[in-house]
Amino acid sequence: MQILGTGPDDERFAAWCEVWAATQRADRPDELPRPASDHVALGRRLVTPGGAMDGTHRAAVAGDTVVGALRLLLPVLDNTTVAYVDLAVHPEHPRRGIGRALLQQTEELARSAGRSALIAEVDEPGPGAAGHAFALRHGWSCDLQETRRDLLLPVDEERLSALEAEAVAAGAGYEVVTWRDRTPEPLLDDRALLNRRMSTDAPNGDVPVEEEHRDAARGREDEAAHAARGRTVLTGAAVRDGRLVASTALHVPLAQPERAHQGATLVLREHRGHRLAARIKVAVLREVAATLPAVRRISTYGSDSNRPMVAVNEALGFRRAGGLSTWSRRLRP
Ligand code: ACO
């Protein structure tokens, strides 16, 4: 087995993407795996100079077959001591040391990029996920345990109306706005502040990350990246005195709109307690029903310690669907 470089314009990359798809099909057989086009778009972003994130890809190859996949993401504007690791082994080749070999390669690549901490996520549909045992075996520590919750659409209109009425009564003086894809220019700087707060205010357990650098330019870079990945993003937001004080985003892959992904939801600290999170989420759900009726399920991830967010999601009808754990390991210099 050899470990070789690859990337979105390499002939091996389709097989590299297939490792991920096979892993996802094995772990969650009733769901469509992430499309290859998504990996390609992310890969291009990583190798395009001047962006917020650099990165590199490796393929574990046995004979002519790609049996393992590694992607390293290297933040450039903040968290410059950290490398995010995506690592998978084709489920037809388990327990042959391929994962271990890719991990060794990860450490070498991260060190040579000047990184001193590795972070990786493990999808855990239920107990006994291979990634959990694998991370433990290699000395990683579990820094954050999140629950995945899914909402099946359409949501009962009575439930939405009742939640909305309560939220409107609790939030006099706030206006709700929605948009698709491009944040209106006058709200762009405020949106960057919300994204910055998201990196510090959402429960992050012991994951070794610092506040993210967010500004208008990075906001536009993210929007271009979502479009390149074939995603449309619906945003609901609350405005007071012309300033954005809360937002929530929903990502819909246009090639597979059945399953949408909840993005960041945040209410600025000084505006909490007015049911704004529920109100803007209801606004987005109405927008989805009107403009993207093919969406059948929304998945969201969050810590159970985040009681206000969990309460909103459960009131909307989200139900538990497994978990996601985040792991880290410090590298010795
Ligand atoms: N159950 C229990 N222990 C396991 C399992 C498992 N299913 N898989 C790996 N391990 C542990 C064992 O200690 C194993 O050593 P052993 O086989 O000698 O007992 C050791 O990890 C090394 O295993 P490898 O053979 O190198 O692992 P493999 O090539 O099968 O890949 C991986 C494991 C990457 C977890 C694979 O199952 C996978 O792709 N899962 C889905 C994606 C994922 O979870 N990625 C890991 C993220 S965590 C991280 O990157 C640090």
Amino acid at position 325, single letter: S
β-strand partners of 71: 57, 86
pTM recorded for the entire structure? 0.94
**Nearest C-alpha neighbor of 39 from the set 253, 285, 279:** 253
Place of tokens 């996920």: 129
Per-residue pLDDT of 42-84, as tens digits, reads 999 998 888 899 999 999 999 999 999 999 999 999 999 999 9
CA distance linking residue 198 with residue 62, whole number of Å: 42
Neighbours of 152 (CB within 10 A): 11
Per-residue pLDDT, 86: 98
Per-residue pLDDT, 87: 98
What residue's CA is closest to ligand 1, atom 5? 130
Per-residue pLDDT, 56: 97
What residue's CA is closest to ligand 1, atom 19? 95
From the CA of 85, give the closest atom in ligand 1.
50
Per-residue pLDDT, 332: 81
Distance from chain centroid for Cα 203: 15
Per-residue pLDDT of 82-91, as tens digits, reads 999 999 999 9
Neighbours of 5 (CB within 10 A): 10
Distance from the alpha carbon of residue 85 to the mean position of ligand 1, in angstroms: 14
Per-residue pLDDT, 50: 87
Per-residue pLDDT, 97: 98
Pocket (CB within 6 angstroms of ligand 1): 23, 85, 87-89, 94-100, 120, 122, 130-131, 133-135, 137, 140, 327
What residue's CA is closest to ligand 1, atom 12? 134
Which letter, b or e, does each residue of 153-188 get, where b requires 16 or more Cβ atoms within 10 Å of its Cβ? Answer: bebeeeebeebbeebbeebeebebebeeeebeeebb
Per-residue pLDDT of 13-44, as tens digits, reads 999 999 999 999 999 999 999 999 999 999 99
Per-residue pLDDT of 200-256, as tens digits, reads 888 888 999 999 999 999 999 999 999 999 999 999 999 999 999 999 999 999 999
What residue's CA is closest to ligand 1, atom 20? 134
Q: What is the mean pLDDT of residues 266-275?
A: 95
Distance from the alpha carbon of residue 230 to the mean position of ligand 1, in angstroms: 31
Per-residue pLDDT of 102-153, as tens digits, reads 999 999 999 999 999 999 999 999 999 999 999 999 999 999 999 999 999 9
Looking at the chain, which runs of residues are DSSP E strands?
Answer: 2-6, 53-62, 65-75, 82-89, 117-124, 141-152, 175-180, 231-240, 243-253, 259-267, 297-302, 319-330
Q: At what angle do helices 307-316 and 157-170 cross, to 10 degrees?
A: 140
